Amino acid sequence: MSDHGFEAVRITDDVWWVGATDWEIRDFHGYATSRGTTYNAYLVMADKVTLLDTVKAPFRHEMMARIASVIDPKKVDYIVSHHTEMDHTGSLPETIRELEPEKVFASPMGVKALKAHFELEGVEPLKTGDDLSLGNRTLKLMETKMLHWPDSMVSYLVEEKLLFSQDGFGMHLASSERFADELDPAVLRSEAAKYYANILLPYSGLITGLLGTMQGLGLQVDVLCPDHGPVWRKGFDVIDWYGEWAQQKPTMKAVVTYATMWRSTEKMAHAAAEGLAASGASVKVLPVPPSHRSDVMTELLDAGGLLVGSPTINNNMFPTAADLLCYARGLKPKNLVGQVFGSYGWSGEACKQMGAELDGMGVERVGEPLRVNYVPTDADLVKCRELGTQVAQAMKEKAG
Ligand code: FEO
């Protein structure tokens, strides 16, 4: 038992999980992490003892204690940093100072990023196709530029058929169980979808390419070790899910999301949702607040329709609608049809502003923006319902 009560978890004969569990985190740079997360680091007990990634800075003591439960940390020969984002490198400089490894490796872009972040010198580059010999083990490197940073790479432990996939195939899920097959499959899919929608969605084309490359290389994966969430050792559902999500096929699911001040826009949202549902769409109605932007994005991952509503306040859309649209635009959801709606008192700029945002996202707009002065009448609500019907019809056509 280590001094701190933290122990490593054995993944295979020679590979140990030496990461950290962050039970408390509820906001990960704007993404609501309601189930916490883990920062996974792995120790390969090869001839050259190798640490793969580190953890967020405040968790260094936990990682060090887990390493110490396997081996004297001073005996770590190599450190490989797959990705510079600070949830994986925050403790790297101090770890290097303490362990004094023989060598530290990163991708060529990672070498630059580590210098920029921490003024780290002497990190050796590894590029796609390079094999890093650990003596009795071999680590094959593959850069995965823009999945999801330019420096990102993954590595494959040849003898154990084990893929260290970094952020890829990960999820924000803190658990005492270390393996996916010990956890509820519905929770796994839900958290993997949330991670994909909020981190990887803009890079779906690259994901399709990576899955094709893995298949083309005949890369057999017996164990999949991401840097967040559980390790997969059988039933690699997450790889199939990625194949599905990367396509972003048009579907008959619609998201109606809105901000409201005095519930007029809310009434419009409900009427539009009725029209969508009556025309065969499956509908999620998500007011912001209380719905979090990252949960709206998760619902958009497999949606074909998007209706966004907001009242006008001080010549602008409501701030929570602006927050959502700014966030969504960056994540570039595809294959959506939709429109905007909202109540207004006198100036009514919100619909124009939201419409421009939807156009920027590439949403195919159906019909006209629907504005209602102050409080919707019954006749206005009929129009909202008709907008829902129109959007559902367009979704049907797009989904084929
Ligand atoms: Fe888990 Fe992109 O860091």
Atom 3, ligand 1: which residue's CA is nearest?
A: 85
Residue with tokens 């010198």: 121
Closest CA to 12 of 49, 51, 45, 48: 45
Contact (Cβ atoms closer than 8 angstroms) between residue 155 and residue 80: yes
Question: Which residue's CA lies nearest to atom 2 of ligand 1?
Answer: 85
Q: Reduced to 3 states, what is the DSSP secondary structure of residue 391?
A: helix
The ligand 1 atom at the shortest distance from the C-alpha of residue 170 is 1
pLDDT tens string for the chain (400 positions)?
556 799 999 999 999 999 999 999 999 999 999 999 999 999 999 999 999 999 999 999 999 999 999 999 999 999 999 999 999 999 999 999 999 999 999 999 999 999 999 999 999 999 999 999 999 999 999 999 999 999 999 999 999 999 999 999 999 999 999 999 999 999 999 999 999 999 999 999 888 888 888 778 878 999 999 999 999 998 899 999 999 999 999 999 999 999 999 999 999 999 999 999 999 999 999 999 999 999 999 999 999 999 999 999 999 999 999 999 999 999 999 999 999 999 999 999 999 999 999 999 999 999 999 999 999 999 999 999 999 999 999 999 999 8
Q: Which residues touch 212 (CB under 8 Å, ≥6 apart)?
A: none
- Return the exposure string of 367-399: e unless at least 16 CB atoms fall within 10 Å of the residue's CB, then b: eebbbbeeebeeebbebbbebbbbbbbbbbebb
Q: Who's near 184: CB < 8 A, 6+ residues apart?
A: none
User: If DSSP codes are grouped into helix, strand and coil, which group holds residue 76?
Assistant: coil
Distance 88 CA to ligand 1 centre (A): 7
Q: From ligand 1's centre to the CA of 363, what distance in Å?
A: 28
Give me 108's structure tokens.
């060529």
For residue 93, what are its two tokens? 């400089």
pLDDT in tens, 191-223: 999 999 999 999 998 888 888 887 788 789 999
What whole-number distance in Å separates Cα of residue 71 and Cα of residue 8? Answer: 10
Q: Is the CB of 266 under 6 A from ligand 1?
A: no
Cα separation, 25 vs 32, in Å, equals: 9
Closest ligand 1 atom, residue 149 Cα = 2
239 class by beta-carbon count within 10 Å (0-12 exposed, 13-18 middle, 19+ buried): middle
Q: Where are the alpha helices (DSSP H) in 91-201?
A: 92-99, 108-118, 185-195
Nearest CA to ligand 1 atom 1: 167
Decide whether any atom of ligand 1 lies within 6 Å of the 167 Cβ. yes
Can you tell me the distance from the alpha carbon of 396 to that of 281, in angstroms, rounded to the nearest whole number?
Answer: 9
**DSSP string across 317-380:** E-HHHHHHHHHHHHH---S-EEEEEEEESS---HHHHHHHHHHHHTPEE-S--EEEESS--HHH
- The bridge status of strand 124-125 relative to strand 103-106 is parallel
* Amino acid present at 145: K
d(CA 251, CA 144): 29
Residue 172 beta carbon below 6 angstroms from any ligand 1 atom: no
Per residue in 124-169, pLDDT tens?
999 999 999 999 999 999 999 999 999 999 999 999 999 999 999 9
